[in-house]
A = this chain, B = another copy of it.
Amino acid sequence: MTAPVPRKIVNDPVYGFITIDHPLVFRVISHPYYQRLRRIQQMAFAQLVYPGAVHTRLHHSLGAYHLMCNALNELRSKGAEITAEEDTAVKIAILLHDIGHGPYSHALEQTLIEGVHHESISLLIMQKLNQQFDGALDLAICIFTGKYHKPFLHQLISGQLDVDRMDYLTRDSFFTGVSEGVIGYDRILKMLTVHDGELMVEEKAIYSIEKFLVARRLMYWQVYLHKTVLCAEKMLVTIIRRARHLIRSGEIVTAPSRVLNYFLQQQEPVDIAQHLDKFCQLDDYDVMGAIKDWTGHPDKVLAALCRMLVDRQLLKVKLQAEPVSEEIISAQRRALAEQAGIGVEDAACLVFSGEASNTTYDPYEERINILFKDGTVKDISQVDNALIQHNLSRPVKKYYFCYLNPAAAPALLQGRTC
C-alpha cells in the first residue's frame, strides 16, 4: 500500500458523509473565523415556527462545499478541464462565501452594520485570511469575484444553479421538515454540463429545474416569508434600531457584549474594513445576550419588544396582497399610544408595516440555460410547454402589518408577559 492521504469524514444528516481531504481546506475550516459560523443560525427566527430549523451557517457552508465536490466530479467526468488548483480554489471559495454573515444573517443584514451587504464582508475576510495564508487564497478570490477566465467556476458559487442555493433549499427543507421544498439536487448535479465555458444543464433536466424553481417559490412563501417568521425578524430589526435610536438620543443602552456594544455606540455608520477583527467576534450570542439583558431596560418599548421576542409572544401580524394604508397604520398607532401611555413615535415600534417580495424566476436577470442534444441553448422559460413563464418573472409583493393589540398593551408595557 502507498501512503494514505489524510482525511476527515464529517457526518451530515442531509448528505450522509462529507469528506475533507486537502490540507488548505482543513486550515480554512479550523480557522476561528470559520468556526464562528457555528454560532450563527442559518435561518434566524424561522425556528419560532419550525422548531427544527436551528442549523448553522457553518453547516450550510460545509454542505455547499460537499455539493461542490460532487459537481466538480460530474463536470470532470463529462470532460470539463479543471486543474487541481482550480479544484481547491473553488472549494475554498464556496466554504467562505457566507463568512461575511453577521448575527442572525439576513435578518439583521444592513441593520447591524448599516448599509453593508454580507458579500462585501465575505470578500474582506477572504482577503484578510489570504494575508495570513501567504496568498494561498489568490485563485479562490479571483473566482469568487467573477474575474477568472472560466465563468462556470464562478457560476457554481453564485448563479441560478449554484451549489449555495441547492444546499440551502435542501438543508432548510430538511431541517424545517417542509418536505415539499425538497429538490432533486443529486439529479440536477448529474445533469450539469459546461458549454462555451458556461454552466448549463442537459435537456433531460428540464422538469427537475422546473421543480427546483417551484420548490424555491414554495420555500419563500411558506417558510422564509412566513408571516410569523417575518414578524419576529422585523421585531429584531426594530429592537436594534430602537437601541441605536436611544443611544443617539443620549440615553444609556449597553449591550453586555463588548464588541456588539462597540458597533451600537457609534454615532455614524462604521467603516467595516477598519473593524473586521471586531466583526469577526460577533455572533447570535451577542445579540440574543443583549436582548435578554434589555428585557429589564427602563425604556418600556425596548423592554417590551425584547420580552416579546424572548418569550415568543409576538406582535400580531397580517400578510396581504395590498399595501396597508397610512390611515390604518396611524389610527392603530394612536390607539396604542393612548391606551399604553406612550408617544405615537414610540408606538411606531409596535405598529409597523412593510413589503416582502419574491420573484419565482426572472429570465432577464438570471438565466438557466438548457443545452439540447442538437447543441442549441435555450433559457428554461423558452422551452416547449414551459411551466416557468413570463407571468412568473415579475416579483410578487406581499405586505405585512405587525401590531400590538392595544388591549394587551398595558400589561406588556408594565413588564408582564403572561
Contacts and interface: CB of A to CB of B under 8 A. Distances in A.
Interface of A: 1-5, 7, 9-14, 16-17, 21, 30-32, 35, 38-39, 47-48, 50-52, 54-56, 58-59, 62, 77-81, 132, 174-180, 182-184, 186-187, 190, 194, 207-208, 210-211, 214-215, 217-218, 221-222, 256-258, 281, 285-286, 288-289, 292-293, 296, 310-313, 321, 360, 384-385, 387, 389, 391-392, 396, 417-418
Q: Which 6 A-B pairs have the closest CB atoms?
A: A256-B256, A13-B177, A11-B177, A1-B79, A180-B184, A289-B289
Contact of A392 (B190, B288, B387): B387
A55 B54 contact: yes
A384 B322 CA distance: 11
A57 B11 CA distance: 21
B207 A211 contact: no
Copies in the assembly, this chain: 4
Given A17-B190, A222-B207, A313-B30, A79 B2 contact: yes
A47 B187 CA distance: 19
Contact of A35 (B215, B286, B312, B360): B312
A229 to B, nearest CB: 12
A190 B289 contact: no
Contacts of A47: 38, 56
A52 B63 CA distance: 11
